[in-house]
Structure 1
Amino acid sequence: MNQNTGKTVLILGANSDVAKECIKQYIEKGFSVLAASRDTVSLEKFVADNHVDHSKMNILYFDAVDFDSHQKFYDDLPAKPHIVVYAAGFLVDNEKALKDFKGTKQMMMVNYMGAVSILNRIATDKSNTNLERIIGLSSLSGVRGRKSNFVYGSTKAAFTQYLAGLRQELASRKIKVNALVIGYIRTKINEGLQLNESLIMEPDYVAKFIVNAGNSFTIVPNFKWKIIYFILKILPESLVAKLP
């Protein structure tokens, strides 16, 4: 049931498939949404195609890797957010990342550096007494280093550790921080990859865990992925080395 909460959600990287589902679900729960992305044209099309209530959202231009623009972007927000979701992400194949640093650098900048740049600004603004939660979309790839995806995984591992420290930093202000540790999702970032179909989650399913995030720092959607997560955490290094 749509009930006006009077609260605002800022979604950074709002053009991802999961983020778009978050937009719909937050609006259904009565939130106003600030949807920020480099591709504002695609967001406008998404709003029109899905009959999203445009009066409940603003579409803003945001470039995760244009670090110098982040302070002005934040200062110019039409409303200071109660909830912030960092959903921007970039992925290149591990073999390509090993041979071409350009792709590696882009992953570092989007998945980690851009997040730290904008979230530091948001988190340290004590004048925003609205802020109550920051949610970052991380990955199972960042739990343990594996030879098939360790370059991408390293950027997500760094992001998760940043969020863990940020949670401690903001605890005295009663601001919650969550890390969504996510497995395979049926999204454009995974198109063309050979993935286990039984493990693939739909974007709207993952979005529910974001929109309904609770107090736990680590949130792992889907019981199968929870099992995989805990196995990865406890596996000895000798066995991790045998994984693909």
Structure 2
Amino acid sequence: MLAKTVLILGANSDVAKAALLQYTQKGYHVIAASRSTDELHSFVQREVKQPGLVTVLYFDAADFRSHAAFYTQLPEKPHIVVYAAGYLKNNEEALLDWEGSFRMMQVHYAGAVSIINLIAMDQTNDRLERIIGLSSLSGVRGRKSNFIYGSTKSAFTQYLAGLRQYLFPRRITVNVIVAGYIRSKMTAGLGLPESLMLEPSFIANAVVNAGSGFIIVPGLKWKMIYTALKYMPERLVAKLP
């Protein structure tokens, strides 16, 4: 039986790199796509025991016009797709910096819809079996400290929810990883509570071992926080940071 192929979009994130390692340990072929190809090449040569299992390609989530050519020129059509591209701008800065806000919208939502639509609508790829998106608990409810970032993640989650229903007749599973605080280069220096930090490898394990359910919230504490946020009255949400 041929090894399955995984396409990771935004493969330079800490979670994506951890997922890459776990997929290759299972013998999967990984197409790792990112703008930071030099850094990815170095990571693969340094950390992957079988670097021949990994193909590194250039991919820019915000360059929508390049997406069709990128997908058409893939060396193999994927069995599994993981969208992990991310960009974070502080909310106060984002309120004053439209380019920063727009970049988050492009990377987390518009770029995701652009490339995933191409993948999902390619009915010649009869081996596509799963699409996984990395979202965030910031998208569960609007909060005054991060509502611009959170709104982009909320939009992505809702897109995936509808896509899951649309692809159900083709037996393609769609999952969304709704993650809490992750110890990563994107969150470094934000002063987040240490007791709530999760390691990238822990989130990656949820990605690699995703089951049939739609929303996957890694970590017991974050499952409780997710449930509380989802059902909390608006007057209490307003008091949150």
| TM-score category of the 2 structures, normalised to the smaller one | over 0.9
1:92 to 89, 93, 117: 89
Q: Name 1:39's counterpart in structure 2.
A: 36
Deviation at 1:10, TM superposition (A): 0.1
**SS class of match (2:186):** helix
Runs of 4+ in 1 over 2 A off after TM superposition: none
Counterpart code for 1:206: I
Among 146, 149, 154, the alignment partner of 1:149 is 146
2:110 matched to which residue of 1?
Answer: 113
CA distance in 1: counterparts of 2:10 and 2:139, whole angstroms: 19
For residues 67-104 of structure 1, give each alpha carbon's deviation from its aligned partner in whole angstroms, at most 9, with x where no partner exists. Answer: 00000000000000000000001000000001111100
Aligned to 2:57: 60
**2:161 paired with 1:132:** no
Letter in 2 for 1:60: L
> What amino acid is aligned across from residue 143 of structure 1 in structure 2?
V
Deviation at 1:5, TM superposition (A): 5.5
Instruction: Note if 1:222 corresponds to 2:219.
Output: yes
How far apart in 2 are the matches of 1:218 and 1:104? 26
Give the superposition deviation at 1:48: 1.9
Structure 1 pair 51/10, CA: closer, same or farther in 2 (3 Å)? closer
Note if contact 1:139-1:183 (Cα within 8 Å) is conserved in structure 2: yes
Alignment-derived partner of residue 120 in structure 2: 123
Mapped to 1, the partners of 2:28 and 2:135 lie a distance apart of 23
Aligned to 1:189: 186
Say yes or no: does 1:199 pair with 2:201.
no
Matched position secondary structure for 2:174: strand
1:53 and 1:43 map into 2 onto residues whose CA distance is 14
Q: Residue 52 of structure 1: CA displacement?
A: 3.6
Pick from 169, 173, 183: which aligns with 1:172? 169
Cα distance in structure 1, aligned partners of 2:216 and 2:66: 31
2:233 to 230, 233, 236: 236
Alignment of 1:65-80 (within 5 A): 65-80=62-77
Encode CA deviations 1:150-192: one digit per residue, 9 max, x unaligned. 0000000000000000000000000000000000001000011
How much has 1:51 moved relative to structure 2?
3.9
d(CA) in 2 for partners of 1:51, 1:64: 25
Q: Which residue of 2 aligns with 1:101?
A: 98
CA deviations over 1:118-142 (Å, ceiling 9, x no partner): 0000000000001000000000000
Please provide the CA RMSD for this pair. Answer: 0.8
Taking a change above 3 Å as real, the CA distance of residues 5 and 183 of structure 1, as seen in their structure-2 partners, is farther
Amino acid at match of 1:196: P
Q: Is the 1:34–1:58 Cα contact (8 Å) retained in structure 2? A: yes
Whole-angstrom distance in 2 between the partners of 1:53 and 1:103: 38
Q: How many residues align?
A: 241
Q: 2:81, 2:132 within 8 Å by CA — same for their partners in 1? A: yes
Q: Is 1:5–1:31's contact at 8 Å kept on the other side of the alignment?
A: no
Letter of the aligned partner of 2:150 in structure 1? G
**Shift of the alpha carbon at 1:53?**
1.4
Unaligned runs of 5+ in 1: none
Unaligned stretches of 5+ in structure 2?
Answer: none
Instruction: Give the distance between the partners of 2:95 and 2:205, measured in 1 at CA.
Output: 35
| Structure 1 counterpart of 2:223, one-letter code | K
